[in-house]
């Protein structure tokens, strides 16, 4: 009755597994055994295999021909890669979105920024942050580009969660506000430039904290 029958079982499994990989419940390198997953979802292993294929395409899992599927590992090198790809593609998307931005859209973006600033845990901050980016980029109406950006956001979120697993303090996003004011003033190129720097990798200044020094390297993922 209440079963969501709009989507297939495979895509449901894929969503749940993606959620777990992104949030870190499934750690990098973990083997994904199809029989176990199938049993957990009360399903057969065929839809599970299809879900694996989708995760593989999203870059969340890697599959070796007859040796199974593992959660994709990621190193600092790939963090940079994802960040730079995001920077390049989001700047492109914003350039095309600018002509279609309305005050109402910018207001929604501002609300998302406020939600991010007032969030108290990483999960809600990440959700609000992603919402901000989505809102200002969606009007470009380039579905393929937006889909690619979404996948990169998922990868970014993995790094974010893995770094700030335990400790997290709220932070205000000055860049977001700067982007919004530039957009309100019609300075599209300036907004794009800020966005590019904002998303891109700028971990040049590692601030050493008592708790851990790794977290600084990840902190600039916006």
Partner DNA sequence: CGTGTAGAAATTATAGATAATTTGAGATCA
Partner DNA sequence: TGATCTCAAATTATCTATAATTTCTACACG
| Binding site residues, a second copy, CB under 8 A | 6-8, 10, 46, 49-50, 53-54, 57-59, 65-66, 78, 81-82, 84-85, 88-89, 91-92, 142-145, 148
Residue 120: CB atoms within 10 A of its CB come to 10
Pick the binder of DNA from 27, 68, 186, 212 (CB under 7 A).
Answer: 68
Q: Which is nearer to a second copy, 59 or 139 (CB)?
A: 59
Per rule CB under 7 A, count of chain residues that contact DNA: 24
Q: Which is nearer to a second copy, 10 or 38 (CB)?
A: 10
Q: Does 63 bind DNA (CB under 7 A)?
A: yes
Question: Closest distance between DNA and the C-beta of residue 13, in Å?
Answer: 9
Q: In this structure, are residues 222 and 173 in contact, taking their beta carbons and an 8 Å threshold?
A: yes
| CA neighbor of 37 nearest in space, from 68, 58, 82, 73 | 68
Distance CA 206, CA 75 (A): 17
Q: Which is nearer to DNA, 45 or 95 (CB)?
A: 45
Q: How many angstroms separate the Cα of 153 from the Cα of each of 4, 89, 90, 134?
A: 26, 11, 11, 10
Pick the binder of DNA from 1, 2, 4, 42 (CB under 7 A).
Answer: 42
The angle formed by the CA atoms of residues 72, 75 and 76, to the nearest 5 degrees, is: 145
- Pick from DNA, a second copy, none: which does 40 bind, CB < 5 to 8 A by kind? none
Q: Which is nearer to a second copy, 54 or 134 (CB)?
A: 54
Within 161-180, which residues bind DNA (CB under 7 A)? none
Cα dihedral: 206, 165, 130, 172 (round 10): -50
Strand blocks (E) in 65-207: 68-71
Tell me, residue by residue from 69 to 108, as one string, x for binding to DNA by CB under 7 A and - for no binding. x---------------------------------------
Distance CA 205, CA 219 (A): 11
Question: Closest distance between DNA and the C-beta of residue 144, in Å?
Answer: 21
């Amino acid at each position: 009755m209440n079963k969501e029958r709009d989507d297939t079982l495979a895509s449901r499994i894929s969503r749940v597994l993606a959620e777990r990989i992104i949030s870190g419940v499934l750690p990098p390198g973990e083997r994904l055994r199809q029989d176990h997953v199938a049993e957990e979802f009360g399903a057969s292993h065929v839809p599970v295999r299809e879900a694996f294929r989708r995760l593989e395409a999203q870059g969340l899992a890697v599959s070796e021909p007859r040796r199974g599927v593992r959660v994709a590992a990621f190193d600092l090198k790939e963090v940079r890669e994802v960040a730079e790809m995001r920077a390049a593609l989001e700047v492109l998307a914003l350039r095309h979105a600018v002509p279609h931005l309305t005050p109402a859209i910018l207001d929604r973006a501002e609300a998302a920024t406020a939600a991010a600033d007032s969030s108290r845990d990483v999960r809600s901050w990440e959700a609000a942050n992603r919402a901000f980016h989505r809102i200002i980029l969606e009007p470009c109406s380039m579905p393929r580009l937006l889909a690619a950006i979404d996948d990169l956001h998922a990868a970014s979120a993995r790094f974010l969660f893995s770094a700030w697993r335990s400790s997290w303090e709220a932070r205000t996003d000055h860049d977001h506000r700067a982007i919004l004011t530039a957009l309100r003033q019609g300075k599209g190129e300036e907004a794009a430039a800020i966005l590019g720097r904002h998303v891109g990798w700028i971990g040049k200044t590692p601030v050493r904290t008592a708790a851990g020094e790794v977290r600084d390297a990840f902190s600039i993922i916006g």
